[in-house]
Every structure is written in structure tokens, then in C-alpha cells.
């Protein structure tokens, strides 16, 4: 078996809160990655249709305000309902180019009523099938004002050539037990998606790689003050307190020894392409394997609930 895998990190700025225009950028990135014979492409957290930057800029915790209600409603209306086929074109491109895709979306799922949204990481295999949708377990800080907490259904790994790949959203990469849930299923290529900025990726990417003895691919988005569309609700209120740069990127790759393969890339939009070799995983597992020869399941063991949570069960 060919032990190498060619990866494209798509470090993009969304067309903020415009799912149609952002999907066009995603589709172009997949097509461009195919020209370089990439076998996996990864996009940042909540790229489709964008991260809720307004929460920190417009008093997002203020109760019952017109600004927060109208921005939230706009956000929900631009979020993705997978059941309605809103990722079908992405799936078609994945199949056409025989390319796996990890894509960060704001999901508006019908199995939770269709009005709440979840920061979800979608895995599409090279056959164009959606194999898992991981809803972020715990929204971080002000994200809780607009995102709902997810469940364990998406704590899954997937075969990809010689690799076993899994992924987590943003700060849940800091959660030891979800990481362990993926390690225990054989993960050796870990995908970490972020809304942006190297302050998130520069330390934990290498830490997870060294802990797990796996490759770790961190992919972030970009966002600058000029990226807010003119038709954004309450744009003036958002821009009043917005810094020039809200997300500077920071996409990177660490090898199974915890050393950089691609150091964090900032302030650069486009594809960052790198090939990795599975044999490096086996080399580093020789002296440490956190769920194999260097574990004690008779002493400590993790239980994972992968049931998809829903308020209504219809029998």
C-alpha cells in the first residue's frame, strides 16, 4: 500500500454569513486541490458560513436586544441543513476527485428541530459519502450565546489509505477524554479545526502530536475587518469595535515526534499543501503508544456515549 497522503489545508476567509458565496469558495478550493492531486482537504471551524465574531463586539451577552436577536436570526438562516442537501455539491466534488474532505460548518439539524445551530465538523470520504458529523461538545465562552452543545455521535474515525483519521473542533482539542476516544479507535492522523489565529495552533498542535504519536493537521480560517459584507445586519455596530484582523490563520502540521512539518502560516489565503508518510507513525509508536503498549486499561478506562441526542423519539 502507498503509505503517503497528500493534504491540502484550505486557509480561507468566508464570505461572512453568506453560505452560497462561501460554498463557491469551498468548491473552488476542492477543484484547485484536485489539480495538485491532493487526497484530503481540510477547512477551518465554522467556515461555512463563518464564525460569530459579533458576540465579542456588540455586547453579545446583553439580554433581549434587537442587535443580538437579528444577528442570531441571520446566522441561523445562513447555516447548513445537511438533510436538505446543502452539502450535495461538496459531496459530488469529493467523489469526482476521489478526495476526502473535512469541513467546518454551522449545522442546522432537523433532528434537533431545525432552529438551533451546532459547530459541526463533517467528514466526507473519497466516494462522496458523509461518514460522520461531529457536533462540538462544548461551545467555548461566548460561543454558548449562539451555538448549542453537541453530542458524542461524531467521535468517530475513518480509514483513509494507510491512515486512520479523526477530528475535533477548536478548544475541544484541549479536552483529554475526547482526544482519548479517538486515539482508542486507532486514530493516527488527527484533524484540528479552528476559526483562526496562530495563538490557538502554535502550542497544542505539537502537544497533541507528541502525546498521541500521530500526525496533527491544524487548519484555521482568516477574517479581517474588510471581509464583513456590506449587507451584514448591524454592520456599523460590529465594525465600531472590530480590530483590523480578527483571525490571522495559523494552519500547520506537526509530525508524530511533535516537531513541525509545516510551521503556522499566517496572513496568507489559499491552499497549503504537504505530503505525509504513515511509516513515521509506526516509528514513533515504538517507544510510546497512549492506548497500546503504554496504557493500563485494567486501571483506567474511558466510556464513550455515541448516541445521537434528540428531544423526540418517534416509534
Active site residues: 45, 136, 170
Give the whole-angstrom CA distance, residue 155 versus residue 168.
Answer: 8
3-class SS at 235? helix
3-state secondary structure of 294: coil
| Helix 198-212 × helix 176-183 angle, to 10° | 50
Measured between alpha carbons, how far is 112 from 66 in angstroms, rounded to an integer? 25
Q: Report the DSSP beta bridge partners of residue 248.
A: 222
Identify the bridge partners of residue 121 per DSSP, sorted by sequence position: 104, 134
> Could you check whether the bond before residue 237 is cis, i.e. omega within 30 degrees of 0?
no
- The partner residues of 272 in beta bridges, in order of sequence, read 9
CA 84 distance to own-chain centroid: 21
Main-chain dihedrals φ then ψ at residue 251, nearest 5 degrees? -60, 145
**CA 286 to CA 66: how far, in whole Å?**
58
**Is the distance from CB of 55 to CB of 145 less than 8 angstroms?**
yes
The helix/strand count (H/E) of the chain reads as 7, 13
List C-alpha distances in Å: 292 to 4, 157, 203, 286.
23, 17, 25, 10
Cα 234 from chain centre: 27
Amino acid at each position: 500500500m502507498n503509505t503517503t497522503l497528500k493534504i491540502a489545508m484550505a486557509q480561507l476567509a468566508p464570505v461572512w454569513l453568506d453560505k452560497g458565496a462561501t460554498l463557491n469558495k469551498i468548491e473552488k478550493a476542492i477543484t484547485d486541490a484536485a489539480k495538485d492531486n491532493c487526497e484530503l482537504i481540510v477547512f477551518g471551524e465554522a467556515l461555512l458560513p463563518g464564525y460569530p465574531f459579533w458576540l465579542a463586539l456588540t455586547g453579545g451577552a446583553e439580554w433581549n436586544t434587537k442587535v443580538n436577536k437579528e444577528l442570531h436570526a441571520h446566522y441561523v438562516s445562513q447555516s447548513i441543513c445537511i438533510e436538505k442537501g446543502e452539502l450535495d455539491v461538496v459531496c459530488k466534488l469529493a467523489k469526482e476527485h476521489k478526495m476526502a474532505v473535512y469541513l467546518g460548518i454551522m449545522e442546522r439539524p432537523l433532528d434537533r428541530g431545525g432552529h438551533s445551530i451546532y459547530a459541526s465538523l463533517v467528514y466526507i470520504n473519497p466516494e462522496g459519502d458523509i461518514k460522520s458529523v461531529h457536533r462540538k461538545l462544548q461551545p467555548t465562552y461566548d460561543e454558548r450565546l449562539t451555538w448549542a452543545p453537541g453530542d458524542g455521535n461524531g467521535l468517530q474515525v475513518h480509514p483513509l489509505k494507510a491512515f486512520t483519521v479523526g477530528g475535533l473542533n477548536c478548544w475541544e482539542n484541549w479536552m483529554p477524554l475526547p482526544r482519548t476516544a479517538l486515539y482508542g479507535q486507532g486514530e493516527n492522523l488527527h484533524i484540528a479545526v479552528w476559526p483562526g489565529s496562530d495563538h490557538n495552533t502554535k502550542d497544542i498542535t505539537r502537544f497533541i502530536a507528541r502525546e498521541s504519536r500521530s500526525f496533527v493537521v491544524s487548519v484555521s480560517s482568516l477574517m479581517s475587518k474588510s471581509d464583513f459584507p456590506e449587507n451584514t445586519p448591524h454592520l456599523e455596530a460590529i465594525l465600531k469595535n472590530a480590530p483590523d484582523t480578527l483571525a490571522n490563520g495559523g494552519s500547520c502540521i506537526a509530525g508524530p515526534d511533535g516537531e513541525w512539518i509545516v510551521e503556522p502560516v499566517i496572513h496568507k489565503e489559499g491552499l497549503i499543501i504537504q505530503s505525509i508518510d504513515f511509516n513515521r507513525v509506526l516509528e514513533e509508536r515504538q517507544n510510546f503508544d497512549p492506548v497500546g503498549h503504554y496504557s493500563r486499561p485494567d486501571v483506567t478506562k474511558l466510556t464513550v456515549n455515541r448516541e445521537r441526542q434528540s428531544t423526540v423519539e418517534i416509534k
